[in-house]
Structure 1
Amino acid sequence: MTFVQVIDCRTTRFDEMNRLMDTWVDQTKGKRTATHSVIGKDRSDDSHFIEIVEFPSYEEAMRNSHLPETDRIFQEMVALCEQTPTFTDLDVVRDEQLYAANIRRLMAEMGTKGELPPLNDLIAEHYHDHDPANEQDTLGLDAVRREMEMWRGAFDFAFTVEDQISEGDRVYTRWTWNGTQKADFMGIPSTGKQVTMTGCTTFRCREDGKIVEGWWQYDRLGLMAQLGALDELET
C-alpha cells in the first residue's frame, strides 16, 4: 500500500533548508526510496512549511529513514527550525492519479515485445473482465493473461492512450490500438496487414492501485473489416 509522510515545520531559514534538502537528495541518490515530494508554504504564515513525501510502502519509508544520510540531514534540519518538526504517517486509501498511471502502465505492458510480464503488480488475482465479444466474462489474473496472449500471438500491437477521466475508484480510458497481423486470428489467416481500432475501457481499482475490474467497448467489426473477414459476406 502506498505510504505518505507529512512533515510539519517552522523556520525563517527556508532557503538554507531548501539547500539542505538538495544535499540530501544528492547524497542518497540511488538509495532514496521516496517516489514523490511536495513542499508547501502556509499563505498566512511565511515561517510555516509542510512537506509531503510519498513512498511505495511503509516498509520502504522506514528503509529510507534508516539511511545514515537521512539521520544526519534530519539533525541539521532540526537546527534550522524554531521547534522540532512533527511527522504524520499516512496509509493512502485513495489515489486517483495512481489508478490512472497504473492503467497506462498496463496498456503499455500488454503490447510489450517478448514475454508478457507477470502483471501481478498491476492486476488483482480476482480480476473480473467484461468484454462484449466474449460469451462469458473473464475471471482471474491467469485467465485475463491468456486472453492477452491470444491477441499478442496474432498481432504485434501497441495502445495509444488518448484520454483518461478518473472518478472515485474508476478510470475511463479512451484509446487507439494499432497492430500488424502476424498469425491466425479468430479463424482469419495471417494477412500481414496493418490495422487500427479505437475503443474505451472503464477500469475499477482498489486502494493499493491494483485493477480489479474492467469494461471494454471497441470497434471489433471495423477490425474484422480491415482484415477482410467481411468481404465474403458482401459478395
Structure 2
Amino acid sequence: MTFVQVIDYETKRFEEMNALIDRWAEQASGRRTVTHTMIGRDRDAKTHYVDLVEFPSYEEAMRNSQLPETDRMFQEMVSLCDGMPKFMNLDVVRDEYLNKLLVNRIFEDLAEKGNFDVMEECVAAGYMDHDMMRMPGAADGREGLRRSMTMWRDAFDFTFDLHRQIAEGDCVSTLWNWTGRQKGEFMGVPATGQEVAMSGCTTFRIEDGRVAEGWWYYDAPGLMRQLGMNMPMGSGGTTQDMGM
C-alpha cells in the first residue's frame, strides 16, 4: 500500500530548505525510496509550507528514514524551521490522478464513442497534434482533432486497451493496444472487413484542465502490412509517428 508522509512547517528560509532537499536527493541517489515529492506554500501565510512525500509502502519509508543522509537532512531541516515540524503518516486508500481521468476520456468518449459533445470540455481550443504523417493542410485545434478521429472512426470499428499510464507534471503518457475491423476506406484501401491490431504510446500535455497537445506513436508500418498496403520508402518496419 502506498504511504505518504505529510510534513507541516514554518520557515523564513525556504531557499535554504530547497537547496537542502536537492543536496539530500543527490547524496542519497540510488538508495532513497521516495517515489514522488510535492511542496506547497500557504497562500494566506507565506512562511507556512506543507511537504508531501510518497513511498511505495510504509516499510520502504522506514528504510529511507534509516539512511544516514536522511538523518542529517532532518537535523538541518529542523534548524531552518520556526519551531518543530509536524508530521502526519498516511496509508493511501484511494489514489486518483485527474489528468489520467481526463486522458481516458479522450480515448473512450472521443476516439471510441465519437461523443464530440465533450470536446470543448476536454480539449483546449488551440490543441496541437504532432504528426509526421499528417495530410497536407490538416488543421490543429478542436476541429482538426475531430476530423482526424472521424477519419479513423469512418474506416474502423475499434477499441483501445489502455494497459499502462504514467502521469508526471502536466503530461500523461499511455501505452495502449488497438484492435479494429476495417469497415470503410482507409488511405486508398477499400473496406476489407479485416481484423487488424497495433500497439502504441500517446503523450498528452494538460493545460488549465484540458488536453492542449498530443503526440501519437505507433506501429503504422505493421498496420499497413495487415491491410496489404505498400510500405513507405525508408520505413524499414520501424515505428512511425502518426496522429490518431
Residue in structure 2 matched with residue 47 of structure 1 by the alignment: none
1:132 maps to a residue whose letter is M
Deviates more, 1:136-145 or 1:190-199: 136-145
Superposition deviation, residue 138 in structure 1: 4.3
Query: Would the aligned equivalents of 1:183 and 1:190 in 2 still touch at CA under 8 Å?
Result: yes
SS in 1 for 2:97: helix
Alignment of 1:166 with 2:132, yes or no, is no
Query: Would the aligned equivalents of 2:111 and 2:149 in 1 still touch at CA under 8 Å?
Result: no
Superposition deviation, residue 117 in structure 1: 3.6
Q: 1:80-101: CA deviations, max 9, x gaps?
A: xxxxxxxxxxxxxxx9811111
Superposition deviation, residue 158 in structure 1: 1.0
1:158 maps to a residue whose letter is T
Superposition deviation, residue 188 in structure 1: 0.5
**For 1:220 and 1:204, how far apart are their aligned partners in 2?**
23
Correspondence 1:191-210 to 2 at 5 A: 191-207=192-208, 209-210=209-210
Query: Would the aligned equivalents of 2:109 and 2:115 in 1 still touch at CA under 8 Å?
Result: no
**For 1:96 and 1:219, how far apart are their aligned partners in 2?**
30
Residue in structure 1 matched with residue 147 of structure 2 by the alignment: 146
Residue in structure 2 matched with residue 175 of structure 1 by the alignment: 176
Count of matched residue positions in the alignment of Structure 1 and Structure 2:
137
Query: Would the aligned equivalents of 1:204 and 1:213 in 2 still touch at CA under 8 Å?
Result: yes
Query: Would the aligned equivalents of 1:111 and 1:156 in 2 still touch at CA under 8 Å?
Result: no
Change (3 A) 1:130 1:117: same
The runs of at least 4 aligned residues of structure 1 exceeding 2 Å deviation read 110-118, 135-138
Q: 1:127-183: CA deviations, max 9, x gaps?
A: 001022216674100111011100001001111111110110011111111111001
**For 2:203 and 2:139, how far apart are their aligned partners in 1?**
15
Query: Would the aligned equivalents of 1:154 and 1:184 in 2 still touch at CA under 8 Å?
Result: yes
Superposition deviation, residue 126 in structure 1: 0.7
**For 1:226 and 1:156, how far apart are their aligned partners in 2?**
15
Change (3 A) 1:168 1:138: farther
Aligned-pair identity in percent equals 45
Superposition deviation, residue 230 in structure 1: 3.5
**For 2:172 and 2:114, how far apart are their aligned partners in 1?**
28
Superposition deviation, residue 121 in structure 1: 1.0
Query: Would the aligned equivalents of 1:106 and 1:122 in 2 still touch at CA under 8 Å?
Result: yes
Q: 1:183-212: CA deviations, max 9, x gaps?
A: 1100011110011011101110013x2100
Change (3 A) 1:157 1:117: farther
RMSD of aligned residue pairs (Cα, Å)? 2.4
**For 1:110 and 1:205, how far apart are their aligned partners in 2?**
16
Query: Would the aligned equivalents of 1:158 and 1:178 in 2 still touch at CA under 8 Å?
Result: yes
Deviates more, 1:153-162 or 1:136-145: 136-145
Q: Which runs of 5+ in 1 are unaligned?
A: 1-94
Query: Would the aligned equivalents of 2:157 and 2:183 in 1 still touch at CA under 8 Å?
Result: yes
